[in-house]
Amino acid sequence: MYNRLLSFLKTHNVLTNIQHGFKDKKSTENASQSFIESVQEALDRHLHVVGIVLDLSKVYNLTNHI
């Protein structure tokens, strides 16, 4: 399933250059570094920065599986 999904996403150019999931040589470390760099750039330009972080790691456990 993973291979079919990845093939579809690549074929239809669904993934952007800033996408970190489903891409080779990209990880949560890359995503974190990219986020930090964006925040630093915004602060250097005296812009306001807002971050919303959601932890969905256990959301599946809360779903009713009937």
DSSP state of 56: -
Identify whether the C-beta of residue 42 lies closer than 8 Å to the C-beta of residue 36.
no
Considering its fold, how many domains does the chain have in total? 1
How many helical (H) and strand (E) elements, i.e. helices and strands, does the chain have?
Answer: 2, 0
* Structural domain harbouring 10: 2-62
pLDDT at 19: 76
Q: What is the pLDDT of residue 56?
A: 77
Q: Which helix (H) or strand (E) holds 17?
A: none
Q: What is the pLDDT of residue 65?
A: 64
- Nearest CA among 63, 55, 5 for reference residue 28: 55
- The torsion angles phi and psi of 5, rounded to 5 degrees, stand at -65, -45
Residues of the chain with confidence (pLDDT) below 50: none
pLDDT the model gives residue 54: 81
